[in-house]
Structure 1
């Protein structure tokens, strides 16, 4: 009888213990390879799924702000994605801890927690933006700071400089460097008719952070500008040659026009004479119709005394007749 009771009690105990053993053996494995990706003050928590997991899993991600709150706050819940973006919940000077766990139908894995992450110190600075403008043999390098997602760059890294490297295209091994540049615009005087390539980094005094390098940007130079005194001399020579040529051209044009369209003027004494009243009357008479001329026939006779007397008599009568008319 006692053995029977003992057997029944053992079976009951085993039944009570087996569910617990099953729950322990069926506990979900935790996500693996948890990591933080932070560029320009953005922050994304990433992880890999549990090894040998079965079925559809979801994930829960949380964060805790050190020295502000001791409890975690949920950002991503019931997501199947293997990442969670915390950027909009963070402060540029905050110190944070993140954690994630796997879930399935009420079952959960253990939390996997990150180390403390200091935003302004640990975030990676992206590359600056570089623009090149060519002017003769000069190239102007314009640099823009990386664009941060939750702050202005100068509000956090107000003491930053630029490291510039450049080289002739095709001669990457002959790189020239300019470090500690504080200006956002730099003009370099280079060789004419040559193509140059540039790459720029940002270096911050705070935490001595170096950004990712900019894209390689190339630009070609052209013919350089002459020096001021050379330009002045050239302008003087051009003016000295062009001015006489212009004057000579005008003079020849004037001569040609004068030849084709002459301006004839009467002498001064002719003008005075024509303006005289008597001359005007003469001109008026010349313009009026001319009277018929009166004439007599004249006969030439052979010489002799009698003939001379007759001729003299005829001439006297003819003169008297004309006076009468």
Structure 2
């Protein structure tokens, strides 16, 4: 009799428990692999969909600013995307916590929360921009800081230096390094007629952060500048050779022109004679048209003997 009563009680308890078990098993699973991607002070929360999920899910993601507010604020709501960009809502020196959950037709999953994220400490610095300008045997390396999405670079990392590595193209194993460079422009005197490649990192004193490396940029050198005394000697030699050649060329041209266009002058007494008035009248007569000659035909006279 007692065993029968125990069996009935167990069955009743099982019936009362099954609906609750069914409700628990029907609860939406939470998103998985939640992670933060932050480069240059931008921040995107990403996650994977729940495992074995069925139906169309939407997501709700929020953030909380430590020491400023204790409650979460919604940024992305009813989105089907597997990410949410929080950048425009954050402060460059803030400490934040993020959370996300899945939703479907009034059902919700449990929240999945991140660890605390410190913006200026945990963000990844992108690569600097590098420009090379060749001048003879010199190469000028110009570096620009990474561009941050929140604030200016120097407002957050006001003490930063550059690590520069360079090598001859094709000789990557023979790398030369220059660390702790504070200038944004560096001029290197290198070998002539050689192609060099450069790569640069930014290193901040704050949190001892190192940026991603810049793209490998290459430039070729040309012939270097000669020393001043060498240039002066060269100019002297050029002048010593060119001046006589120029004078000789002018003299030769003068002789040729004189031969082709001779300048003949009349003797002095001829000039005086021609300028005399009588001579001028004679010349005028000679130059005037001559009158026609009048003549009569004379017949020969034959004498008879």
Q: Give the TM-score normalised by structure 1.
A: 0.80
**Change over 3 Å in CA distance of 1:98–1:282 after alignment to 2:** same
Q: CA deviation at 1:227?
A: 1.9
- TM-superposed deviation, 1:262: 0.8
> For residues 6 and 196 of structure 1, do their structure 2 counterparts lie closer, same or farther at Cα, with a shift above 3 Å needed?
closer
The answer to whether structure 1 residue 244 and structure 2 residue 244 are counterparts is: yes
| C-alpha distance after superposition, 1:250-271 (max 9, x if no partner) | 1111111111111111233432
| 1:159-188 Cα distance to aligned partner (Å, 9 max, x none) | 211110001112111110011112222111
Distance 1:40 1:242 in 2: 62
Cα RMSD for the two superposed structures: 4.8
Q: Distance in 2 between matches of 1:292 and 1:112?
A: 138
Secondary structure at the residue paired with 1:230? Answer: helix
CA deviation profile, 1:131-156 (whole Å, cap 9, x unmatched): 22222221121111111112221221
Q: Tell me what 2:94 maps to.
A: 94
Listed one character per residue, the Cα deviations across residues 270-306 of structure 1 (whole Å, up to 9, x for unaligned) are 32343344544565676689999999999xxxxxxxx
| SS of structure 1 residue aligned to 2:77 | strand
Decide whether aligned partners of structure 1 residues 255 and 5 sit closer, same or farther in structure 2, where only a CA change above 3 A counts. same
CA separation of 1:287/1:51 partners in 2, compared to 1, >3 Å: closer, same or farther?
A: closer
Deviation at 1:47, TM superposition (A): 1.7
Q: Relative to structure 1, is the Cα distance of residues 59 and 249 closer, same or farther in structure 2, using a 3 angstrom cutoff?
A: same
Structure 1 residues 223-258: Cα deviation after superposition (integer angstroms, max 9, x where no partner): 222222222221222122112211211111111111
User: Match of 1:264, SS?
Assistant: coil
Q: What is the distance in 2 between the residues matched to 1:165 and 1:3?
A: 85
Tell me the secondary structure at the aligned position of residue 51 of structure 1.
coil
Consecutive unaligned residues of structure 1, counting only runs of 5 or more, are 299-314, 317-324
Q: Which structure dedicates a bigger proportion of its chain to helix?
A: 1
SS at match of 1:101: strand
SS in 2 for 1:286: helix
**Residues 11 and 241 (structure 1), Cα distance of their counterparts in 2 relative to 1, 3 Å cut:** same
Q: 1:283 to 1:108 in 2, by over 3 A?
A: closer
The alpha-carbon distance between structure 1 residues 266 and 4, as it changes in their structure 2 partners (threshold 3 A), is same
Q: How many Å apart are 1:12 and its aligned residue?
A: 8.0
What is the TM-score when the length of structure 2 is the normalising length?
0.85
